[in-house]
Amino acid sequence: MATAAAGGRRRRVLFFPLPYQGHINPMFQLAGLLHARGFSITVFHARFNAPDASAHPAYDFVSVPDDGMPADSPDTVQATMDHILAVNRACEAPFRERLAALLERQRARAEDVACLVADSHLLTLLGVARGLGVPTLALRMGSAACFRCLTAFPMLCDKGYLPVQESSQLDAPVVELPPYRICDLPSSAAAHGQLREVLSRVVTAVTTSSGLILDTFDALEADELAALRRNLAVPVFDVGPLHKLSPAASSSLLRQDRGCLDWLDGQPPASVLYVSFGSLASVSASDLVETAWGIANSGRPFLWVLRPGLVRGAPPSSISLPDGFDAATRGRGVVVSWAPQEEVLAHPAVGGFWTHCGWNSTLEGVCAGVPMLCRPFFGDQMGNARYVDHVWRTGVTIDGELQRGKVEAAISTLMGAGEPGAGMRRRALELKNSAAASIGEAGSSSVNVDMLVSLIQSM
């Protein structure tokens, strides 16, 4: 296997994650993978959502001032676009200063900097690194299918798919990008121009770097990866599932309630519905009520993550479930503020996963072999849900207005003993086995990791 040693010099890889939980996790998993191959690691990071350096004692950390950044995490598409652009603006000058200082120190040591691996949303910072002579690699936190969609975004606009003009168009197929429908595309009527700018910057970040790193695997997205390799002028490294290849120390920004694992130990196999909507998505108060009663009426045991700030307009520190919910579910459910999700999904008691279909959660569900109930909110989540229920056929999507009857029926379909639930479970297990094979000896992802290490070594 390729390692970091070259001519007696220990090489250093720099990282810069976008400061959101779903982007920090894969970045640290990749850092752990490269550290295990002998590379030294330095993590640059914004002060907003700063990672816990004490959890990674083998790494060096460099804090980059982000003066003027909003104090709170974004909760809408427009706010997220604003926030991403603000991170680039705020960190540009201080990152240049701190990177230049690091490079100067490295010249006096018996090691050198191989490259910067940065989130594909950080186009400005990738440009800063190249301006100082540091090669760059872009890490994309999403599926190959999603990035293919981003490269096609100008075409989608030119052909009139976006921005969406009429609600009646939503179910129409995107003939150039099957299996997408218009409703599966990343879109925002209120911030279309801003979204187009941000997505264009992502594509530029990839095409001007020395390679694209994706947290996916060939058996899951063979056609989509092949299309990217045909159409991109840079090498593509599918090295996922990263959380299986590199179970690094926790990079969670929220405190995990591990007591829920003890509760799961007492539940029958494949009986529990695990419900979590990720670290950024938010729901209305009425959707919370319908979700609660759908879960209650299903009669299934459940583990529900209600993180601070999940409900729009509610105090972040407390979320009130509807009157009567506790009495209706007493003895068969647990509610926590945050959970160790990978361990929860791997637990034999978990038989279904209600998810927002962020890519990390989707991939973790795939690797655990757990069928999914999909309720996407924004961004790439709609497209991920489309693949879960239409391509891989390992789950079911709740579309349209959220109603308790629809929730109850979807849970029954997902976790019922007969078809189609049994078929979803069979196919989910097949994908789990494919994921395991991809990271085994001579597996597709293992081969790609070797190729990535060789590229970094040659920089």
Length of the chain: 459
Token pair, residue 31, equals 């850092």
End-to-end CA distance of the chain: 17
Separation of alpha carbons 365 and 341, rounded Å: 9
**With 0-12 CB in 10 A as exposed, 13-18 as middle and 19+ as buried, what is 74?**
middle
Contact 366, 244 (CB under 8 A): no
Q: State yes or no: is 119 an active-site residue.
A: yes
Q: Coil, helix or strand for 21?
A: helix
Q: Is 409 exposed, middle or buried (0-12, 13-18, 19+ CB in 10 A)?
A: middle
Q: How many CB atoms lie within 10 A of CB 417?
A: 6
Number of H helices, E strands in the chain: 17, 13
Report residue 160 CA to chain centroid gap: 29
Which residues are CB-neighbours of 205 under 8 A, at least 6 positions away? 118, 120, 121, 122, 123, 126, 138
What are the backbone angles phi and psi of residue 256, rounded to the nearest 5°? -85, 135
- List residues bridging with 305 in a β-sheet: 336
Residue 139: beta bridge partners? 119, 213
Residue at token pair 């002579």: 133
In the set 23, 56, 121, 243, the catalytic residue is: 23
Catalogue the long-range contacts made by 170-179 (C-beta closer than 8 Å, 24 or more residues apart): 176/152, 177/148, 177/149, 177/152, 179/386, 179/387, 179/390, 179/391
For residue 458, count CB atoms less than 10 angstroms from its CB and return exposed for 0-12, middle for 13-18, buried for 19 or more: exposed
Residues 6 or more apart in contact with residue 390 via CB below 8 angstroms:
179
Which residues lie across from 238 on neighbouring strands? Answer: 214
Q: How many CB atoms lie within 10 A of CB 90?
A: 20
Residue 391 is given by DSSP the state I
* The one catalytic residue among 35, 83, 119, 218: 119
Rg, the chain, Cα only: 22
Tell me which residue of 405, 410, 433 sits closest to 421, measured CA to CA: 410
Question: Catalytic positions, please?
Answer: 23, 119
